[in-house]
Chain A
Amino acid sequence: MTEKKTNRRDFLFTATYAVGAVGVGATIWPMIDQMNPDASVKALASTEVDVSAVNPGKTITVLWRGKPIFIRRRTQDEIAEARSVKLEDLKHPEKDEDRAANPEWLVMLGVCTHLGCVPLDQKGEYNGWFCPCHGSHYDISGRIRKGPAPTNMEIPKYEFVNANTIKIG
Chain B
Amino acid sequence: MSDHEYTPKSKFGKWFNDRLPLLTLANHLTDYPTPKNLNYWWTFGGILTFCLITQIVTGLVLAMHYIAHADMAFDSVEHIMRDVNYGWLIRYIHANGASMFFLAVYIHIFRSLFYGSYKAPREIIWIIGIIIYLLMMAAAFLGYVLPWGQMSFWGATVITNLFSAIPLVGEGIVTWLWGGYSVDNPTLTRFFTLHYLIPFLILGLVVLHIWALHVPGNNNPVGIDIKKPSKDTVPFHPYIVIKDGFALLMFMIVFAFFVFYTPNILGHADNYIEANPLVTPAHIVPEWYLLPFYAILRSVPDKLLGVVAMLSAILILAALPWLDTSKIRSAVFRPLYRQFYWILVADVLILGYVGAMPAEGLYLLVARVATAYYFLHFLVILPVLGWKEKTLPIPLSITEPILGGSPNLATAKNKESLNK
Contacts and interface: CB of A to CB of B under 8 A. Distances in A.
Interface of A: 30-31, 33-36, 38-41
B49 to A, nearest CB: 16
Contacts of A31: 57, 61, 86, 90
B57 A30 contact: no
6 contacts: A31-B61, A33-B86, A34-B64, A34-B90, A38-B79, A39-B82
Interface string B84-120: 1111011000000000000000000000000000000
B83 interface: yes
Interface in B66-85: 79, 82-85
Nearest to A28: B57
B260 to A, nearest CB: 13
A39 B86 CA distance: 11
B65 interface: yes
A30 B79 contact: no
Contact of B83 (A30, A33, A35, A40): A40
Interface of B: 57, 61, 64-65, 79, 82-87, 89-90
Nearest to B245: A20
B65 A34 contact: yes
Nearest to A31: B61
Nearest to A39: B83
Contacts of B85: 30, 33-34, 36, 38-39
Contacts of B90: 30-31, 34
B86 A40 contact: no
Contacts of A33: 85-86
A34 B87 CA distance: 7
A30 B61 CA distance: 10
A38 B87 CA distance: 9
B57 A40 contact: no
Contacts of B82: 39-40
A34 B86 CA distance: 6
B64 A30 contact: no
Given A34-B86, A38-B85, 17 more contacts: A30-B85, A30-B86, A30-B89, A31-B57, A31-B61, A31-B86, A31-B90, A34-B61, A34-B65, A34-B84, A34-B85, A35-B64, A38-B65, A38-B87, A39-B82, A39-B84, A41-B83
Contacts of B79: 38, 40
A162 to B, nearest CB: 32
Nearest to B58: A31
Contacts of A39: 82-85
A163 B41 CA distance: 76
Contacts of B61: 31, 34
Contacts of A30: 85-86, 89-90
Nearest to A30: B86
Give the one of B61, B64, B84, B87 with max A CB within 10 A: B84
A39 B61 CA distance: 17
Give the 5 A-B CB pairs with smallest separation, nearest first.
Answer: A30-B86, A39-B83, A38-B83, A40-B83, A33-B85
A31 B90 CA distance: 8
Contacts of A35: 64
A40 B78 CA distance: 12
Nearest to B54: A27
Give the one of A31, A34, A35, A36 with max B CB within 10 A: A34
A41 B89 CA distance: 19
Contacts of A38: 65, 79, 83-85, 87
A103 to B, nearest CB: 40
Give the one of B85, B87, B90 with max A CB within 10 A: B85
Contacts of A36: 85
Contacts of B83: 38-41
A36 B86 CA distance: 10
A30 B80 CA distance: 13
